[in-house]
Amino acid sequence: MADSKSEKEKVKKKNVLVSSNGRAYITSTFNNTIVTITNDKGEVIGWSSAGASGFKGTRKSTPYAGTTAAENVTRKAVAKGLKTVEVYVKGPGGGRDSALRGIKSGGLSISLIADITPMPHNGPRAKKKRRI
């Protein structure tokens, strides 16, 4: 009885309707770059990251790793029929600009580039300064 629950159950993937327009979300941190492409409703068509592209450790945060991740997911999206994307960039990492170039070289045309990096409007009190 316990064996049947411990085995991995296959989850059936939902087929996503792909129109010619979509959105690309680039989340670039200091450690990784994640690129997600969705249709116009927000349903995920495909995603990739620098880590999923085979980079490990500090090489994940390089611009080249961001380009590779963007090209990988762009190829999947173009194969499904996507043509143009609106790009939303978030975060301070090194793969921001290079991921944009990767989307462009992957065969998608970019109609909009927006920076949605969250900025505090002077939120909670900051931690006290570190003394070394």
**Confidence (pLDDT) at 60:** 95
Mean pLDDT per block of 10 residues along the chain (132 residues) reads: 60 81 96 96 95 95 96 96 96 94 96 94 92 90
Q: pTM for the whole thing?
A: 0.84
Is domain 18-115 given the CATH code 3.40.50.620 in the classification? no
Question: What are the structural domain ranges in the chain?
Answer: 18-115
**Half-sphere exposure (Cβ direction) of 131: Cα atoms closer than 13 Å:** 1
d(CA 69, CA 103): 9
d(CA 116, CA 37): 16
**Confidence (pLDDT) at 1:** 54
